[in-house]
């Protein structure tokens, strides 16, 4: 019994020591959202079909509801993933962001960056 009671604090320390990347958090968010939202793609496509009085969106595979019916959930999740990416993940490249990244380089890396940037700008006739 003593070994079991000492297990909880050890397990808690291990859980708190986990390193989690932001991509893992975004994947978890999208996965949880998909488990709730993706079924509504089927409901949405059914509502559209009922409104227009059609049985299925395509007759490529007879009796299977059409190819579009196979992807209704994917279309909803594509839209949700796109909105999630543009809202929470995507960050445009700005001069300030480049300078902040360059400041984290070592002195030799900063010199190499400056030389390569100068060469790039010379090749494009900017300098």
Mean pLDDT in the chain?
80
Give start and end residues of each alpha helix (H) in the chain: 2-5, 7-16, 22-37, 39-52, 67-70, 72-84, 95-103, 107-123
> Which DSSP letter does residue 97 get?
H
What's the burial of 30, exposed, middle or buried (CB within 10 Å: 0-12/13-18/19+)?
middle
* Backbone phi, psi, residue 38, to 5°: -60, -40
Axis-axis angle for helices 39-52, 22-37 (nearest 10): 40
Q: How confident is the model at residue 58 (pLDDT cuts 50, 70, 90)?
A: low
Rounded CA gap, 84 and 37, in Å? 13
Whole-prediction pTM value?
0.52
pLDDT tens digits along 59-108: 555 666 666 666 777 777 888 889 888 888 888 889 998 999 999 999 99
């Amino acid at each position: 019994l003593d070994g079991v009671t000492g297990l909880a604090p050890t397990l808690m320390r291990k859980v708190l020591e986990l390193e989690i990347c932001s991509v893992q958090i975004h994947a978890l968010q999208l996965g949880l959202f998909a488990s709730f939202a993706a079924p509504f793609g089927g409901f949405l496509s059914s509502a559209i079909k009922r409104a227009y009085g059609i049985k299925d969106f395509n007759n490529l595979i007879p009796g299977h509801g059409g190819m579009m019916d196979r992807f209704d959930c994917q279309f909803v999740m594509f839209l949700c993933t796109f909105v999630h990416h543009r809202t929470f993940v995507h960050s445009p490249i700005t001069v300030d962001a480049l300078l902040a990244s360059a400041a984290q380089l070592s002195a030799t890396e900063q010199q190499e960056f400056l030389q390569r940037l100068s060469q790039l700008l010379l090749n494009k006739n900017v300098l």
